[in-house]
Structure 1
Amino acid sequence: MKCNAMNTSETKIRRRTFFKTCGLAVVGMDLSQKSLATEDINETNLQQVNINQLPDTQLPCVKEQVDYVVVGGGVAGVCSAITAARAGLKVVLIQDRPVLGGNASSEVRLWVLGATSHMGNNNRWAREGGVLDELIVENMYRNKEGNPIFFDALLLEKVWAEPNILLLLNTAVYTVEMDGQDKVRTVIGFCSQNSTRYEISASYFCDASGDGIVGFLAGAAFMVGAERSEIFGEKFILPDDYGKLLGHSMYFYSKDVGHPVKYVAPAFALKDIEAKIPRYKNIHRDASGCRLWWLEWGDDQDRVFDSEKIKDELWKVVYGVWDYIKNSGKFENVENLTLEWVSTIPGKRESRRFKGDYILKQQDIVEQKQFEDAIAYGGWAIDLHPGTGVYSNYPGCTQYHSKGVYTIPYRSIYSHNISNLFFGGRLISVSHVAFGSTRVIATGTLCAQAAALAAVICKKNNISPREVYLKGFVKKLQMDLMQTGHYIPHIELENEKDLITKSKITLNETLCLSELPADGTWQPLKKDVGMLLPFGKRKVPEFIFTVKAEEDTTLDFEFYISSRLENYTPDLCLSKKSYTIKNGISSVRVRFGVSLKEEQYGLVVVKKKDRVSIAQSNVRLTGILSLFQGRIQEKDDKYGFEKITFYTPERRPGGKNLALKIMPGLDCFGLSQLQLGVFRPANGSVNAWIAPLSCKTAQLTCYWKAPQTIRRIILWFDLDYDHAMESCLMGHPENIMPFCIQHYKIKDETGHVIYEKLDNHQAKNEICLPNEVKTSSLVVELYQNDPDIPVSLFGIQVFN
């Protein structure tokens, strides 16, 4: 086969003729004997054919040599490729499907989620950062309704925008070439659409393919299935009949077309739904998309090599469930419904897990182990599913949460025995139990982003992925990741090139929170409701609440903190108070009488009470939330999990703050918060400067002793990291987060506007000035968007 290096946009492939390659191509054919196929062919004309003009039968081959190859074009692979390309590597991204996005694409239609867990746990402000957040925020801006086709197009746009990325769609890697036993030299793939073979060589590879095709072919050590308890000392070991692997899922969308639609099920559709699907009562008229996550199956099938069998079985389930909805007579108002879409490929959960230098396990998650080489974090529950899925008598999932997010070490994202191979997505080095949490899209994507910048360090220093750890480059990797907006718990960004570290900063005004004024609406106390607030190292202030009671009664209040500074799980109650209230509207002054030993978040809880309501406020602020008590996870010694009471927010437009007065006011929003190097609420602090609500134009000024040459400025805004921003199906109330500053100006020492932005909707604003500016001061003016939301800023950086 003739292979050509692809040095230009069009590859010229040398062709030889059909007859030169194959002889006459009519071997054994007697031209003197006419057949039905040839009787209309003039023999003279046949003899006059110029055989040198006939086509070549060999397929074209393209070769490419780059720095970094990412195999797998899911969200993890896309973000890894973009991250590496922006850092200067030449990248090839290989995807075996016609669209990008993997399980989040329009082919499968699973939402992108991670540590926020639909905002249903105690992981506050936990949405993942970096390139992933840029994409999710952009999707929200363009596509708040959650159309997965638009998400496909967004990923394609962002990849095509990077000149350092060569994208190969519809290209399946099927073999690798090695340098010795422990180094991948080349991956070889075939594109079914242009019948072209690609041979892509690189210094470093990232397998983000889901099933780990590169790692498998290269001989990378991997694990499959649930381990016994003694392997890792884990307790969450389910019975043998539960199954050893999570299954695949397929979904459908339905649509009301406004007139009756008949449905005749295909012969293969599953019959006797109520007899064969134990959870058939979970089937609803309006169920669609990944809300049907429990339409899952795998049983004892190989999750890779039997994947087509699994798909076929799931098609039977999907069409059978729709037949049950349409034709069983058990559902009302289904006459006008039709199937709009059905998965054509299954969404895969689990197959291979590859061994790194560290295998993350259950204890690391539950105990929230702090790794020195942390490069990512997770927060989804440890969430295991029965292997027989939809046919199982077990619940669709068995899951337990930790009290907060946990970190993932760098040593878990590269191969133990292949010296230049990284892993992203669900392939990282974890036990089966830990995989129940790390497998979700956003968590795996953080690992893939870390792999990309680790590859940059490897390339620059000519070292292996392991040597990044052994030779002390982990802190640089952490700083490089944080600079992209990638968040790592317990890590603060330090950048010696940042001119802000040499400047003096002044603020025109800073919030002292003494009141959230009532807006005339009331929250019935049907459940416990709390205010999550940041407190200084001092006595907890007094609070005044306005309540409305239908009778004389008592009302109880409690004050909680978390046993770990970085958590928001209220597991330490410091004070309980009870007060008598009168029938009608009255004020309650609450004095908890306790002091805090360090700056941290606390939860002021108003206990549920029938026939009592509490006043609400329209005002919303960065780093402050109202929370409502949800379910309780009971302590489980058998499986090794702790008791957790969940306090979770309501989604906007709900979730108003409680109206209250604070005496003395909270002063946790000033200059010190702006200089912590963390661009979200974390580690007990808001980490943001907040101006008073009355301040319509907030101003920050940076001074230097001598003029500085400035070429680049970065502003970090609040894009509500507590909002899950599911990429599809859910729908969201706004396309721009209410805390985001949309309009701002930057001025030099003369007052000249060197940059103005009118329509911002992103968290990280990196401003590359067209011409360098020499100035001894910079003024940043931030304009309020909403009269009920004050101006806020997480950080500013300046570079020359």
Structure 2
Amino acid sequence: MIKEAFKNFRNLKETTEYSDIVIVGGGLSGVCAAITAARQGCKVTLIQDRPVLGGNASSEVRLWALGATSHMGNNNRWAREGGIVDEIMVENTFRNKEGNPVLFDTVVLDKVMAEPNISLYLNTTVFHIAKADDRTIEKVIAFNSQNSTLYNFTARQFIDASGDGIVSYMSGVPYRIGAESPEELGEGLAPDVEDYGELLGHTLFFYSKKTEKPVKYVAPDYAIKDTSQIPGVKNVEVGDHGCKLWWFEYGGRKDTIHDTEEIKHELWKVAYGIWNYIKNSGKFTEADYYTLEWVGLIPGKRESRRFEGEYMLKQEDLVHQLAHEDAISFGGWAMDLHPADGVYSDKPSCTQWHTKGVYSIPYRCYVPKSIDNLLLTGRIISASHVAFGSTRVMATCAHGGQAVGMAAAHVIKYDVSPRELLEKHKLKKLQQDLVATGHYIPQLQFTLDNLANDAVIHPSSEYSLRAISAGSSWENLSFSMAQMVPVRKKIPAFSLSFNVRKATALTVQVRKSSKPYNHTPDITVWSTDYSLEVGEQKLAVELGDLGGFQDQYAFITVLKNDDVDILLSDQLLSGMVSVYNQVNKAVSNFGKQEPPEGSGVDEFEFWCPKRRPKGGNMAIEFAEPVYTYEATNILSPLYRPVAQPNAWMASPSDTQPSLDFQWSHPVSISRLKIFLDTDYDHPMETVQMEHHEHVMPFVARNMIVMDENDKHLATISENHQAVITVDFDQPVVTGMLKLQFEHPSEKVPLAVFGICIT
């Protein structure tokens, strides 16, 4: 029993916790930063003010995490981010392909709890900081309302992943809220702040569920009764819920930090009012059998403070894909701005302007001015309002988070400051260590420390692409279609098969991208019309010497013709995909981007794949091999298709695919990393959107590692991840390492992006 007499004053229970790195904010950015730093051996404190991790991706908000892939509705092929965020998204697809947000919570928590170097504090709110001097944070101070404890978290290095930037704000870092003028940074997309507004608002979703019996609904008194003041209500359909209601937005004219509770109450009025309209307006008879299952209790925030760093990302960086020597992350979502009035605006709910490819984000954007032991990540990084329209999305933020986590680990490991990492040799080491985790950085060319570079590599086979075998399905050319084919200098003659219902002319073209690392077919190299007769037929295409190709993808293109079907293949090949000039309204893709004059944005067409099980490669035959998936491709640290597939592929007829690494003398091996194909073209939305497969069809699942005496060193079974790491208990000394694989399936030959041996 505890019994205590009256006291004039009592103190809270107070404790002080020490670690190498303190990360404030447990959204995907903070989570990826924490896991990355912890795996580098740092002691990490991760502080989250909510009961779950994931931020806007959690079950509290339920927004799907997306990034450069943009619902597969842009021209950014194989652009899913890679690294820790990819590990989380692949794991979620494996466990939760139906997109249950509660299960996604468990996936994220599992990843954090698996790291012994992370100390996690949920329900813990940072409200104050202390500084050792003007430029150095000593500690952050937080309170946990669940255990009534006051915490002092001290560390050498701090990371602000808090969304509103509480640590950066209180430590005095300069910041901006709102939009720059068009003249300040030369941004044609900078909004008219009086008419359009200069802040994106908050959003709050609801979920509905179909029932077996009619369900009535009585709206709360505070719900909006006159939904005519919400222009978007005309587009509402029964069954729409969750992320499809992203346009339930409000607050862009308010203080999106301090007015959040007021904004939330207004969004509750909107959500319950629109549900009342669906249920009781009489316009939706099928609504009788739907019930309201869940309404968000906190809004998802889009925009508040952006802190000034050593560099401010702007529209020009994105549109022109400017190369930055200190690039550590990348983006590819559209420059996506919303009218400040949200649901009450008569303007379109968003304006999305895409770039022709992905763009890099420099390390300097994560290094704040004025404070020496702090790094930024998430939506608060140094970017203009326009550039923020792209960088703010969660997978992009998370990718930056893991880069910052690695940078913080380097600060601890090498006893340097965050700014000192900008020195050339330190920066290169940071980039190399990121890439070695599967983290993709565009346009960077370098080699990794890799014993495989010194070995003679003996593949059991190498696949020479001469044909994509014919299947049994046909695709009507209701949209123009192109097969992306990797080429080196030239394209041999090829043939395609068609079924023609009415004699017609068909246009066949060859296109390419003006930048070899992009996948926007903005240059037509060759075009010819062919006369086709009724019936099934094979069309032979002679190109001659086209010239002008670097090592890059060619787009073998057939233009729209409703009278023609094209034969598809059942075969799936790494680094090969067919694309369509179709419409994806979810990302403002109407087949072609036609920006307003003076916007500074490119005009171009969209050519995008269809999600499996739809679509498929064209059945195509070449007169000679057009590309060989050579074993030496595994030495490139580009662990995904970019300008080429960057993969070794075994022949489909090779019953036991293998790679042998032979050295001239015995070497000592401590770690083996294998980089595989988890289909970086698939966006893997984390919630709501059901995926066709729980395991990506390209990924190698089973493999054995042996030494020169055929001793089994490791066996991997039922893998579904992109990166496999084998750490040997004791270093293996051998003159040969043998890797034996299985093909993923009869229709999908084995492909490996990279092998790193250290």
TM-score range, shorter chain: over 0.9
Counterpart of 2:14 (choices 61, 70, 74) is 61
Cα distance in 1 for residues equivalent to 2:475 and 2:281: 42
| Counterpart position of 1:679 | 639
Q: Helix, strand or coil for the counterpart of 2:212?
A: coil
Equivalent residue number for residue 455 of structure 2: 503
Q: Which runs of 4+ in 1 moved over 4 A?
A: none
Give the SS at the match of 1:623: coil
Alignment of 1:727-766 (within 5 A): 727-766=686-725
Cα shift readout 1:341-397 (whole Å, capped 9, x = no counterpart):
110000000000000010000011011100000000000000000111001011000
Question: What is the distance in 2 between the residues matched to 1:187 and 1:507?
Answer: 54
Quote how far apart the aligned CAs of 1:758 are: 1.8
Q: How does 1:255-654 map to 2 (within 5 A)?
A: 255-273=209-227, 275-470=228-423, 472-492=425-445, 494-496=447-449, 498-537=450-489, 539-593=490-544, 594-630=546-582, 631-654=591-614
* Residue number among 779, 785, 791 corresponding to 2:744 in the alignment: 785
SS in 1 for 2:170: helix
Matched, 1:208 2:168: no
* TM-score normalised by structure 2 residue count: 0.97
Query: 2-side partners of 1:104 and 1:658: how far apart?
Result: 36
Q: Percent identity?
A: 45
Q: Distance in 1 between matches of 2:113 and 2:312?
A: 35
Deviation larger for 695-704 or 401-410: 695-704
Give the total of aligned pairs: 748
Residue 334 of structure 1: SS of its match in structure 2? helix
For the residue of structure 1 that corresponds to 2:382, the secondary structure is coil
Structure 1 residue 154 corresponds to structure 2 residue 113 = no
- Partner secondary structure for residue 597 of structure 2: coil
1:31 match? none
Of 183, 200, 215, the residue aligned with 1:230 is: 183
Inter-partner Cα distance in structure 2 for 1:597 and 1:305: 55
- Give the direction of change, closer, same or farther, for the CA distance of 1:718–1:745 in structure 2 (3 Å limit): same
Q: What is the CA-CA distance between 1:610 and the residue it aligns to?
A: 2.2
Instruction: Report the CA distance between 1:492 and its aligned residue.
Output: 4.0
Alignment of 1:103-122 (within 5 A): 103-122=56-75
Alignment partners' CA distance in 1, 2:61 and 2:540: 53
Letter in 2 for 1:262: K
**One-letter amino acid of the structure 1 residue matched with residue 5 of structure 2:** F
Q: Report the secondary structure of 2:657's partner residue.
A: strand
Contact persistence 1:668–1:686 (CA under 8 A):
no
Counterpart of 1:709 in structure 2 is: 668
Residue 467 of structure 1 and its aligned partner are, at CA, apart by: 1.6
Structure with the greater alpha carbon radius of gyration? 1
Residue identity matched to 1:252: F
1:48 maps to what in 2? none
> Aligned AA for 1:308?
E
Is 2:123 the counterpart of 1:163? no
1:471 shift after superposition: 6.3
Contact 1:674 1:688 survives alignment (8 Å): yes
CA distance in structure 2 between the partners assigned to 1:754 and 1:370 by the alignment:
42
Residues 299-325 of structure 1 deviation map (CA, whole Å, 9 limit, x = unaligned): 421000000000000000000010011
- 1:139-150, aligned counterparts within 5 Å? 139-150=92-103
Q: What is the rounded CA distance, in whole Å, between the counterparts of 1:215 and 1:534 in structure 2? A: 46
Could you tell me how far 1:241 is from its partner in structure 2? 1.6
User: 1:423-472: CA deviations, max 9, x gaps?
Assistant: 11101000001000000001111111111111122223332211211464
Deviations 1:164-214 (A, max 9, x none): 111110001000001121211100000010000010011111111100011
Q: Which has the higher contact order (CA 8 A, sep 6+)?
A: 2
**Amino acid in the other structure paired with 1:144:** K
CA RMSD of aligned residues (A): 1.4
Q: Offset at 1:600?
A: 0.8
What is the distance in 2 between the residues matched to 1:625 and 1:554? 25
TM-fit CA distance, 1:746: 1.3
Contact kept in structure 2, 1:235 and 1:638, CA below 8 Å = yes
CA distance in 1, matches of 2:176, 2:731: 53
Q: Which residue of 2 aligns with 1:5?
A: none
Whether the 8 Å CA contact 1:526–1:608 is kept in 2: the answer is yes
| Distance in 2, Cα, partners of 1:387 & 1:766 | 47
Distance 2:218 2:92 in 1: 37
Contact 1:536 1:596 in 2 (8 A): no
Residues 206-236 of structure 1, C-alpha deviation per residue, up to 9 Å, x if partnerless? 1111000111111111110011112111111
Counterpart amino acid of 2:467? E
Partners of 1:62 and 1:663 in 2: CA distance: 73
Q: Matched residues in 2 for 1:499 and 1:82: separation? A: 26
Question: Contact between 1:482 and 1:493, CA under 8 Å: does it hold in 2?
Answer: no
Deviation at 1:756, TM superposition (A): 1.4
Are 2:218 and 1:218 equivalent residues in the alignment?
no
What's 1:19 paired with?
5
* Alpha-carbon distance between aligned partners in 1 of 2:109 and 2:372, rounded to the nearest angstrom: 31
CA distance in structure 2 between the partners assigned to 1:471 and 1:788 by the alignment:
45
Secondary structure at the aligned position of 1:253 is classed as strand
Offset, 1:97: 0.3
Aligned residue type for 1:773: V
TM-score for the superposition, normalised by structure 1 = 0.92
1:251 corresponds to: 205
Equivalences for residues 42-121 of structure 1 within 5 A: 57-121=10-74
Q: Structure 1 stretch 347-356 or stretch 657-666: which is displaced more?
A: 657-666
Q: 5+ residue gaps in structure 1?
A: 1-14, 23-55
Any idea what SS the aligned residue of 2:372 has? coil
1:241 aligns with 2:211: no
CA distance in 1, matches of 2:543, 2:277: 57
Contact kept? 1:117, 1:379, Cα under 8 Å:
yes
User: Equivalences for 1:176-215 in 2 at 5 Å?
Assistant: 176-215=129-168
User: Displacement of 1:533 after TM fit?
Assistant: 0.8
Give 1:770 shift: 3.3
Matched, 1:657 2:617: yes
By how many angstroms is 1:287 displaced?
0.5
5+ residue gaps, structure 2: 583-590
Q: Secondary structure at the match of 2:263?
A: helix
Deviation sequence 1:750-775 (CA, Å, 0-9, x none): 12222111210011000112343322
What is the aligned partner in structure 2 of residue 40 from structure 1? none
Rounded to whole Å, the distance in 1 between the matches of 2:531 and 2:86 is: 47
SS of alignment partner, residue 287 of structure 2: coil
Paired amino acid for 1:781: Q
Tell me, yes or no, if the aligned pair for 1:206 and 1:421 is still in contact at 8 Å.
Answer: yes
What is the CA distance between 1:64 and its match in structure 2?
Answer: 1.0
Counterpart of 2:587?
Answer: none
